[in-house]
Chains A and B, each alone.
Chain A
Amino acid sequence: MIEVIGLVKQITDGHSNKKILDALDFHLKAKKSVAISGDSGSGKSTLLNILAALDNADKGVVKVAGLTLNNMSEVQADQFRKKHLGIVFQQFNLIDCLSVWDNITFPARLNGLPIGPFHNDLLEQLGLKSHKHKLPVNLSGGEQQRVAIARALSHQPSLVLADEPTGNLDDNNSQVVSELLFRLCKQLGLTLVVVTHSPKVAAFADSRLLLQQGRLHAFSNQPPNQTSNLVSA
């Protein structure tokens, strides 16, 4: 599903170049989830940007859902995001002028997909049925993040990227939201990449990666052979 080979991303700091991602290699099989952890400035967000085709790699190859992101034009990148990607942000980032229902169905409608039982079911599973016609401003943080999850899944993308999805939530809500995110992705057969500092959230993932000095290191509570089946770094 995700194939990253020799990925290098550097930034220019005055006269010197600093490598954010240094010859990074990793593979993630379809329908699996991975949690990526790392210190601040370790390159987690840069990696997500590149996986979301929001930024370009300086060197290396990045393939998602069989598409090579390196040589994509802006229009192709837009199409890729529209069709293949669902994103869950730390700050929820809902469209504040649209209702919960409009927010959730937005990506599906954008892709011209029919709105039907799947979306109602999603609404129900996320416990948002009673909030269907409310505006985001009238929801709590946990509810807003659940709407964001529903939105990220509504067009059943190939890949879901989540950036600190519980970063703005309390422990109880974190637990609920993480459980929902991982369960629904598994249920729908979607590949999930979660960037998180929280071990509790990471524990839901099929595998865990640690980003250090621009390189990924695999670590998991699961047996090594099982991890390597899912992800290799």
Chain B
Amino acid sequence: MVPLLKLIWASYQHNTLRVVLVLVALITACAGLSAVLVINSAAKNSYASSNQPFLQQVEQRIIARSGHTLNKQDFAALRRLGFTQLIPVLRSSQNILHPITAQPLRISLLGIDSFSVISYLASNALKAEKNSSKVSTEELGQLWRPPFVSVIHADFASELNLSDAQILAIENNQLLPKLAVTASQGLGREIVMDIGQLQRVLGTQKISELMVVGVQNDQETHELKAALPEHLRLENINTGEQAQQLTGSFHLNLLAMACLMFVVCMFVVMNALHLLIMKRWHNLRIVRQLGVSRKQIYWAQGAELLLISLFCAPLGAIAGVFLAQLASPLVSLTLQSLFDVRIGYTQVAYLSLMTQCFAACILGAFTAAILPMRQLNTKLALRNLSVNVHTNHLPWLFASIILGCFAVGLGYYSQNILVSFSAIAMSIFAGCSLLIYALPKSLNMLFHSLPERWVLFRWLAADGVRLSQKSKIACCAFFIALTSNIGMNLMVDSFRQATQQWLTQRLVADQYISTQSPEAFTQWLATQDIDVKVIERKGLDAVLLNKPLSRTKNTTPNKTKIELRSYPSSNLYQEAMLFVQQQDDAWQRFTVDQGVLINQQLALRHELTLGEELNFYVESGQPETKHIVGIYYDYGNQNAQALLALDYFAKYKANTTLFALHFASKQQQSLFAKQLESASISNQVRSIQTRELLALSMQTFERTFVITDGLNIVTLLVAALSLATSVLMIDMDNRPQRALLRSMGVGNYQMTGLSLIQYTLLSLLACLLALPFGIGLTWLLINLINVQAFSWSYPLLITPAKLLSAGLLSVLLIVLVVALPLYRLSRRKLVEDIKCLSF
């Protein structure tokens, strides 16, 4: 074994590029995978403990009803009643001036009553908890007693370029307690301090909410509800389990993209291993003649792969952690804006991560080595390998048909996302099989259709048939990357257009106001001389009484709970509604309270159709029944929702969720903005113009897909690299043919140009096939994955320009990447090449 390993080691000196290719591909694969594993595991840890900074198992909170405030007295009263599990919290988002750059930074500040936390930790109640807190009481003590500190997570501090012991000032020039940088788990993208300190800095006595710590049983929840004064209410917040369910598809999407990148990387490994083995097979055959068994050679190759994996896995894991750190702010913001889910920083379990990377690496490397090893086996058997240009490709066509049928079947009967992803994978593999069948067939057709006088082009097409067989693995890698690229691009583009159209249609008001004090706002507005029509949007939660479904398709935590919202019945709002389906007289029935409109989420989750009855009740009312007269698009909403006509909503004791303002003119809108700015209620309302809301929504949208886009581009690059390695590999076999043509007077640049055209042709053919598969992939993503993950879909919009640009850009990328090794080949001296012709 050792002499064989020495021989392998010696061969590296003459094959540096190929070894580097194997290493780079494996490290890239591990880096992508480990980055996603770190991101997902951080989120999972965060969800599992459902923690807030220094608090764990927070599933409920007490907040003030609209128009009311929560204060110290409320908290004291509840504590006196024995509710010691309540922790007062104050949240605020403030601009601070960066101490070094002097640039303003928008930062979330979180004030927490550290004394209550400590006393809670000390109580017997906590000891009974299975998930005992790992919070350091020392850090809590720092918050509570002088000298007070503001705690920030090390990663967040590093991201903002803040350091230990710095003192930050907010806009009103008040100073925050000095910073204490810590790596405490559960901390996220905020600065945490004692609530007293934050109240001092902000000049307020208010409390945002009372967090209910620990898992509450029904009895405890009921008692707490009963004890609450009229102006307070108890609400559930996203629990860890809920957050995990909500974001499951997002994490699965990331993992799927990472796996795709891993697979494409393995194609590079396969090609590079092929190159390595081809370079060394001559020596290995000599070794065989000297009496070394084939088994020993395989063991040596296996040991080589093991050593390579041992080298690459840790490096890839570390690179992945670095990538995850770069991507985590984006992921965190995306999850917050998409799902209202907060994820904190967690520590990376390096050993576990490296073990996972090593396992994936070794599995991938050995799988990638199967084909090169089979070829080596044939060569070591001393059999002659002749190129059969008439290889029968029909089995590939049959394989493609069978895989396609399986994909359709799986997709049709799919009940969950994993099965749907399998259907997608199968359809892509069906595409690969079809590509392997179609490439030589198309090139053969091209060969026969070219006039005989175009001798070089005819050679190009005929040689392309052979080339397509040798580069089929690389072409498949390119096909997979291109299909996913087209699929994702088309999906994002369709979603972008659908969202934009939907938002533009739905946001008909000039300005929107959200406030906790609606009465104060309406009173203030009544005193202003502004020509504006105000439409109140009211809402409350209702419980669905329709028969639950036997099969579960969604990720909603509570399937029986729905949002009940008011909707104006004017013509303007009728036109603003975008229906998936509606009855002919939908609007007439809706306006006279004879019908209800439901969103697509509610319809899909509960398999409700037009004309069916929606049975529900609100907290204080009797069961009600309404006919479903329309189903509308409601992108991005995680919840099931039903709309009732505004005029008939008054009977419910509902909160105002939003004010929609319609101004008589632009001047009136400007006047309103000016007067609101100087009004005393300005800090109680959030005013946003429609165009700003549109921009904000689209910004959130773009952010959501930026990681997927990034992984997609890397995958495409890796596929291009795979084709480039394939060029090098094929060159070894193609040298005699190149030399022969050169000996007949075909110029060097002519040869390079021909090779480039050959690869462009292969890429174009792969691209042509990738187009329908990409469109099919988009359809599956929209109508299968999206529906299963979010319970809504949107129309598939095929933009030829987008398709063309995605395809052509990918082909251009391939041509650029392939041009490099071809240029390198063109630099080789002809006299060297001609040796292989035994001249």
Binding site for B on A (CB under 8 A): 45, 48-49, 52, 54-55, 74-75, 78-83, 85, 87, 89-91, 93, 95-98, 102, 105-107, 109-110, 115, 135, 137, 163-164
Query: Given A49-B834, A80-B745, A96-B389, A163–B839 Cβ distance below 8 Å?
Result: yes
**In the complex, are the beta carbons of A82 and B834 less than 8 A apart?**
no
Residue B830 at the A interface, CB < 8 A? yes
**In the complex, are the beta carbons of A163 and B838 less than 8 A apart?**
yes
Residue B737 at the A interface, CB < 8 A? yes
Query: Given A45-B839, A87-B839, A96-B387, A107–B831 Cβ distance below 8 Å?
Result: no
Residue B681 at the A interface, CB < 8 A? no
Q: With A and B bound together, what is the CA distance between A85 and B743 in angstroms? A: 9
**In the complex, are the beta carbons of B459 and A90 less than 8 A apart?**
no
Provide the residues of chain B in CB contact with A90, threshold 8 Å: 838
Provide the residues of chain B in CB contact with A79, threshold 8 Å: 745
Provide the residues of chain B in CB contact with A80, threshold 8 Å: 745
Q: With A and B bound together, what is the CA distance between A54 and B452 in angstroms? A: 28
Provide the residues of chain B in CB contact with A106, threshold 8 Å: 455, 459, 744
Q: With A and B bound together, what is the CA distance between A55 and B834 in angstroms? A: 10
**In the complex, are the beta carbons of B455 and A110 less than 8 A apart?**
yes
Provide the residues of chain B in CB contact with A102, threshold 8 Å: 452, 455, 458, 462
Can you offer 13 A-B residue contacts whose CB atoms are under 8 A?
A45-B839, A49-B831, A49-B834, A55-B831, A74-B747, A82-B745, A89-B838, A90-B838, A93-B736, A95-B462, A97-B459, A106-B744, A110-B746
Interface size on B, residues (CB 8 A): 33
Q: Which 5 A-B pairs have the closest CB atoms?
A: A82-B745, A109-B455, A81-B745, A97-B462, A78-B747
**In the complex, are the beta carbons of A74 and B748 less than 8 A apart?**
yes
Shortest CB-to-CB span from B756 to chain A, Å, is 18
**In the complex, are the beta carbons of B389 and A135 less than 8 A apart?**
yes
Provide the residues of chain A in CB contact with B30, threshold 8 Å: none
Please report which residues of chain B, range 685-730, place their CB below 8 angstroms from some CB of chain A when the two chains form the complex.
none
Provide the residues of chain B in CB contact with A89, threshold 8 Å: 837-839
Residue B466 at the A interface, CB < 8 A? yes
Shortest CB-to-CB span from A92 to chain B, Å, is 10
Binding site for A on B (CB under 8 A): 386-390, 452-453, 455-456, 458-459, 462-463, 465-466, 736-737, 740-748, 750, 830-831, 834, 837-839
Query: Given A87-B839, A89-B838, A137–B456 Cβ distance below 8 Å?
Result: no
Query: Given A102-B458, A106-B744, A110-B744, A137–B386 Cβ distance below 8 Å?
Result: yes
Provide the residues of chain A in CB contact with B453, threshold 8 Å: 109
Q: With A and B bound together, what is the CA distance between A81 and B831 in angstroms? A: 14
Shortest CB-to-CB span from A155 to chain B, Å, is 9
**In the complex, are the beta carbons of A82 and B837 less than 8 A apart?**
no
Q: For residue B737, which residue of chain A has the nearest CB?
A: A95
Q: 6 additional contacts, CB 8 Å, given A80-B745, A81-B744, A89-B838?
A: A75-B747, A78-B750, A87-B744, A97-B459, A109-B455, A115-B452
Provide the residues of chain A in CB contact with B750, threshold 8 Å: 78
**In the complex, are the beta carbons of A110 and B456 less than 8 A apart?**
yes
Shortest CB-to-CB span from B836 to chain A, Å, is 9
**In the complex, are the beta carbons of A54 and B389 less than 8 A apart?**
no
Shortest CB-to-CB span from B131 to chain A, Å, is 69
Q: For residue A74, which residue of chain B has the nearest CB?
A: B748
Shortest CB-to-CB span from A182 to chain B, Å, is 20
Shortest CB-to-CB span from B436 to chain A, Å, is 18
Shortest CB-to-CB span from B471 to chain A, Å, is 15
**In the complex, are the beta carbons of A137 and B389 less than 8 A apart?**
yes
Q: With A and B bound together, what is the CA distance between A163 and B835 in angstroms? A: 12
Q: With A and B bound together, what is the CA distance between A229 and B742 in angstroms? A: 34
**In the complex, are the beta carbons of B388 and A95 less than 8 A apart?**
no
Provide the residues of chain A in CB contact with B458, threshold 8 Å: 98, 102
Query: Given A82-B744, A107-B744, A95–B839 Cβ distance below 8 Å?
Result: no
**In the complex, are the beta carbons of A93 and B837 less than 8 A apart?**
yes
Shortest CB-to-CB span from B331 to chain A, Å, is 51
Provide the residues of chain A in CB contact with B389, threshold 8 Å: 96-97, 135, 137
**In the complex, are the beta carbons of A137 and B387 less than 8 A apart?**
yes
B387, B742, B839 pick with most chain A CB within 10 angstroms: B839
Shortest CB-to-CB span from B750 to chain A, Å, is 8
Q: With A and B bound together, what is the CA distance between A52 and B739 in angstroms? A: 13
Q: With A and B bound together, what is the CA distance between A54 and B741 in angstroms? A: 12
**In the complex, are the beta carbons of A95 and B745 less than 8 A apart?**
no
Shortest CB-to-CB span from B792 to chain A, Å, is 53
Query: Given A48-B839, A49-B831, A93–B748 Cβ distance below 8 Å?
Result: no
Q: With A and B bound together, what is the CA distance between A96 and B742 in angstroms? A: 16
Query: Given A49-B831, A54-B834, A110–B745 Cβ distance below 8 Å?
Result: yes
Query: Given A48-B839, A80-B745, A110-B456, A95–B740 Cβ distance below 8 Å?
Result: yes
Q: With A and B bound together, what is the CA distance between A135 and B743 in angstroms? A: 21
Q: With A and B bound together, what is the CA distance between A79 and B744 in angstroms? A: 9
**In the complex, are the beta carbons of B839 and A97 less than 8 A apart?**
no
**In the complex, are the beta carbons of A97 and B466 less than 8 A apart?**
yes
Provide the residues of chain B in CB contact with A96, threshold 8 Å: 387, 389, 466, 737
Shortest CB-to-CB span from A230 to chain B, Å, is 25
Provide the residues of chain B in CB contact with A135, threshold 8 Å: 389-390
Provide the residues of chain B in CB contact with A75, threshold 8 Å: 747
Provide the residues of chain A in CB contact with B747, threshold 8 Å: 74-75, 78
**In the complex, are the beta carbons of A49 and B839 less than 8 A apart?**
yes
Provide the residues of chain A in CB contact with B741, threshold 8 Å: 95
Provide the residues of chain A in CB contact with B736, threshold 8 Å: 93
Q: With A and B bound together, what is the CA distance between A50 and B252 in angstroms? A: 64
Q: With A and B bound together, what is the CA distance between A52 and B466 in angstroms? A: 29
Shortest CB-to-CB span from A47 to chain B, Å, is 11
Q: With A and B bound together, what is the CA distance between A107 and B831 in angstroms? A: 20
Query: Given A54-B743, A54-B830, A110-B745, A98–B838 Cβ distance below 8 Å?
Result: no
Q: With A and B bound together, what is the CA distance between A108 and B452 in angstroms? A: 11
Q: With A and B bound together, what is the CA distance between A74 and B452 in angstroms? A: 27
Shortest CB-to-CB span from A126 to chain B, Å, is 19
Q: With A and B bound together, what is the CA distance between A49 and B743 in angstroms? A: 10
Shortest CB-to-CB span from B466 to chain A, Å, is 5
A75, A106, A163 pick with most chain B CB within 10 angstroms: A106
A79, A83, A102, A115 pick with most chain B CB within 10 angstroms: A102
**In the complex, are the beta carbons of B837 and A91 less than 8 A apart?**
yes
**In the complex, are the beta carbons of B743 and A52 less than 8 A apart?**
yes
Provide the residues of chain B in CB contact with A83, threshold 8 Å: 745
Shortest CB-to-CB span from A82 to chain B, Å, is 2
Q: With A and B bound together, what is the CA distance between A95 and B459 in angstroms? A: 9
A75, A93, A97 pick with most chain B CB within 10 angstroms: A97
Shortest CB-to-CB span from A198 to chain B, Å, is 16
